[in-house]
Every structure is written in C-alpha cells, then in structure tokens.
C-alpha cells in the first residue's frame, strides 16, 4: 500500500537523455539549510529546487528521478491531456540525443528509464547501478531541460497516445475509474481524464507542450530525488549544475476540487458488469486521513476484508472486488470496484451498501487490528525498495513540504481506534451523494435515487 498522500498514478512507459553538463558550482553558495531524518537528507537550492536522498547501505543500485508538482489537475480545459503528452515527448529526443540514443545509453549500462503522469504529479525516473548514477542523472536533466519537440515526433507520438486512449476505452475496468472520477468531480480539473480527450490530443503541438512546461515546471515545483547507493552531496552538485539556473515561474494555484457525486451508467453487451461506488474522502492534511485508509482496508483491502468475504467467498457474486482511498491536497475519493455478471450487479451493490453501513454501525476490534497490521506491513515492505523510497521522499516534499518521519506515519496509523473508524465511516456517509459508475450488462442495477436511499439518515 502507498502511504496516505500517494494516490495511484496512471503510468505510461517511455525512455530519454541529456545535454552537456553545465559548469560545476559550489552548492554551498546557493543552497539553504539541510534537514536530516534517519538516512533522509533534504537540501533546498536558492531558486527553490529541492534535493532529497535516502541512502540505503548495502545496495549496489540507485533509484533516481525528478518529480514535478504538475499533473492533470493543473491543466486548463483546453490543455487537458498535455501533461501526459509532455511526459511522452520527453523520451523522443533532445538536441544531443535521439530517442534511440536515449534508449541505448540507459540500456548500455543495464538501467531502466520510465515516467508517469498522475493528477498532481509528473515523474521521470531511472534505476541503475551506483557507478552509473551520473549517466542516469545526465539523461534525466537533458530530457527536462532540452526536449526537442520535433513536429514529426509530436505527430508520431500523438498517434501513440491516441492508441493508448483507445486501449483504455476498450478496457472496461480502466475506463470506469475515469468515469467515476468525472462523476465525483464534475466540470473541474480533478474530474478530467489524465490522458485527455482525443480532440485535445489531436490538436497539441510543440507550442502547447513548451507552453505548459514554461507555466508549470518552475524550480519550486521540482524535486530531485534518489534512494539506494547514493551520495547526497553529489546529488546536490548535480542539481545545482543542471537546475540551479532555473528562474521562478508564477504558476496559478489549481482550482480547489469539490466532491459532488452522481451517476454514469452505460449499458453495453459485455461479458461482465463493471461497478464503482465512490464516496468523498479527506485531503492530505485532514486528521482523518489514516482512519480513511483503515476504513478502505476493512471494506476491501484483502482476502479477509468484508467485501471479499461476503461478495466473493460467501455469495460467489464476483471474481474481483476491492476498495481503495486516494488523497489529494484538499479532498479525496473512496472507491469500491467490483466486476460481476449482469444478473448479479444489483446484489453486489446491495452487499456494498450493507457493508458500508455495517462498518459505520458495528466495526470489530479484530478487523481493525488486522487492517492496521496490513497497512503497517505495506509501509515497511515498501521501504525495502529504493524506487519506493525515492518516490515516497519526493512526493512527501511536494505534498507536505517535508519528508514525514516513518515513526510519525506508523504512530498515526497505530492510533486509529474503533471510535475513530466508526466516526470516519459515519462522516463518509453523511450528507454526501454516492458516486455510482456502471458499465456493461447493467440494466438490472437499481436506479440511482433508490440506491441513494440506502444511506439516508
């Protein structure tokens, strides 16, 4: 499991390279104070770029990347999809390297290069052996500081992205999540698909890509992060040399997201009915964010969860069912997904409603303890991966302005009580319209107003 504050990212697979190293400068002349928490070191350059490292003794490899606080929620309506398009184009070449050069250079050292775009973040990252960290960092800097945006490459990648959108539309258990996000947050950036609509993607050109980068890739939105066999001072020197000359960007804050709820129902002749039920969840700084994670785990976090046991094991209504809670700066979303036969969708929705009410009315101590143990183990197991640790540190800086100590996270999780769980479950159901997304043979699903009555006071 990701810690609260690391919502699932829509990833796309790509590759890239860098420009001639700038003249080295003494970072002490431009950096601010250094924070240290366990093995985590954070340095802020004078222009706002933050550098974070998490050294892991005994490892032979390093995970390195640049995380940018810009994603789908930072786009205007006419820009929707440009953040993801920009991520793709980073791997299409620079003035120094072609796309093939980028791929060959990273793979010549046995490394991996990738990227993803989420609603609030775009990340470009690599995994290499420790001796090849300079190579990976040079590539990452090059693709961010000197992307070519050749018109022929833009047209070529446009076709790739349109195929990606088509693949998503042909994958029901993918598209229902986009529809649920749109129904939960209608007519606002938080509800728009990360890939964007085909009509937008068809119109993006080099100016649109470079314009978004100029608007949103300011130094205060960049985090250079690394974990594993890394040297913090060397990382700071790299960041100063390659990003220390960036000038501040006056970026408008994204519009606050407002949960609304609602329904989208599309009947189609498919083998399975795909259902998502959604409810509002707290934002990152809300005191209830840990209770929300426990709540989702109790509902559908594993084979012992209420929904898995009742819907699959006891009643055989579905093959797949789970719940998850995603959190952003000011809001979040609890989603329950289930896939079942068309004749079972009404019964599956009833089970979900019944269990949501049961967790509010009578949660059990054993299931609370089990959920907290699952979440704790997930946090600790993730720390064994340098990629996860680099991601955690960078996203913490973007979300909270600091890297939260592990003890703080685990203590907050351990502190969730039965009363906290019950109160949060009540809060999630009080006064909010559910989000309901149905796709496939769903004609027998209950009408939306009738389903909403299950949660009326």
The reported pTM is: 0.90
Return the HEC string of the chain: CCCCCCCCCEEECCCCCCCCCCCCCCHHHCEEEEEEECCEEEEEECCCCEEEEEECCCCCEEEEEEEECCCHHHCCHHHCCHHHHHHHHHHHEECCCEHHHHHHHHHHCCCEEEEEECCCCEEEEEEEEHHHHHHHHHHHHHHHHCECCCHHHHHHHHHHHHHHHHHHHCCHHHHHHHHHHHHHCCCCHHHCCCCCCHHHHHHCCHHHHHHHHHHHCCHHHEEEEEEECCCHHHHHHHHHHHHCCCCCCCCCCCCCCCCCCEEEEEECCCCCEEEEEEEEECCCCCCCHHHHHHHHHHHHCCCCCHHHHHHHHHCCCEEEEEEEEEECCCCEEEEEEEEECHHHHHHHHHHHHHHHHHHHHCCCHHHHHHHHHHHHHHHHHHCCCHHHHHHHHHHHHHHHCCCCCHHHHHHHHHCCCHHHHHHHHHHHHCCCCCEEEEEECCCCCCCHHHHHHHHCC
Residue 251: predicted pLDDT: 87
Distances (CA, A) of 127 to 8, 226, 230, 291: 20, 10, 12, 34
* Distance separating alpha carbons of residues 343 and 321, to the nearest angstrom: 16
| pLDDT of 159 | 97
List Cβ neighbours of 78 (8 Å cut-off, separation of 6 or more): 200
pLDDT averaged per 10 residues in sequence order, the chain, 457 residues: 40 29 31 54 98 97 98 97 97 95 98 97 98 97 96 97 96 96 97 98 98 97 98 97 95 92 97 98 96 98 97 97 97 98 97 97 96 98 97 97 96 98 96 95 97 90
Distance of CA 190 to the CA centre of its chain: 13
User: What positions carry a catalytic annotation?
Assistant: 87
How many beta carbons lie within 10 A of that of residue 250, not counting itself? 6
The pLDDT, as a whole number, for residue 38 is 59
> How high is the pLDDT of residue 162?
98
- Write down the pLDDT at residue 13: 28
């Amino acid at each position: 499991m990701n810690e609260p504050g690391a919502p699932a990212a829509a990833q796309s697979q790509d590759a890239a390279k860098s420009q001639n190293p700038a003249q080295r400068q003494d970072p002490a002349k431009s950096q601010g104070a250094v924070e240290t928490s366990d093995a985590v070191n954070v340095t802020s350059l004078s222009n706002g770029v933050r550098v974070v490292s998490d050294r892991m003794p005994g490892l032979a490899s390093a995970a390195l990347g640049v995380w940018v606080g810009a994603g789908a929620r930072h786009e205007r309506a006419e820009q929707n999809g440009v953040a993801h398009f920009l991520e793709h184009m980073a791997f299409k070449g620079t003035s120094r390297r072609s796309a093939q050069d980028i791929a060959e250079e990273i793979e010549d050292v046995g490394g991996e290069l990738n990227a993803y775009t989420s609603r609030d973040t775009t990340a470009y990252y690599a995994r290499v052996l420790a001796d090849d960290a300079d190579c990976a960092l040079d590539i990452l800097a090059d693709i961010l500081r000197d992307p070519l945006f050749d018109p022929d490459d833009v047209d070529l990648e446009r076709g790739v992205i349109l195929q990606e959108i088509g693949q998503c539309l042909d994958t029901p258990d993918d598209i229902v999540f986009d529809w649920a996000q749109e129904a939960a947050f209608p007519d606002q950036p938080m509800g728009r698909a990360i890939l964007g609509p085909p009509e937008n993607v068809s119109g993006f050109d080099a100016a649109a890509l470079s314009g978004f980068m100029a608007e949103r890739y300011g130094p205060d939105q960049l985090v250079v992060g690394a974990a594993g066999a890394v040297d913090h001072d060397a990382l700071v020197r790299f960041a100063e040399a390659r990003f220390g000359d960036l000038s501040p960007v006056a970026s408008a804050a994204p519009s606050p997201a407002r949960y609304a709820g609602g329904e989208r129902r599309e009947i189609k002749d498919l083998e399975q009915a795909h259902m998502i039920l959604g409810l509002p969840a707290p934002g990152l700084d809300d005191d209830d964010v840990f209770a929300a994670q426990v709540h989702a785990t109790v509902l559908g976090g594993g084979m012992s969860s209420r929904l898995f046991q009742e819907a699959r094991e006891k009643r055989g209504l579905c093959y797949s069912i789970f719940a998850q809670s995603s959190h952003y700066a000011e809001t979040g979303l609890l989603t329950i997904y289930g896939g079942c036969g068309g004749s079972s969708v009404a019964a599956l929705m009833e089970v979900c409603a019944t269990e949501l009410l049961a967790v509010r009315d009578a949660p059990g101590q054993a299931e609370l303890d089990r959920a907290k143990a699952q979440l704790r183990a997930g946090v600790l197991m993730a720390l064994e991966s340098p990629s996860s640790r680099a991601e955690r540190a960078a996203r913490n800086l973007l979300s909270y302005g600091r890297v939260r100590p592990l003890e703080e996270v685990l203590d907050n999780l351990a502190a969730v009580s039965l009363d906290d769980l019950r109160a949060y479950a009540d809060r999630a159901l009080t006064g909010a319209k559910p989000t309901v997304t149905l796709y496939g043979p769903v004609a027998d699903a209950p009408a939306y107003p009738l389903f909403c009555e299950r949660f009326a006071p």
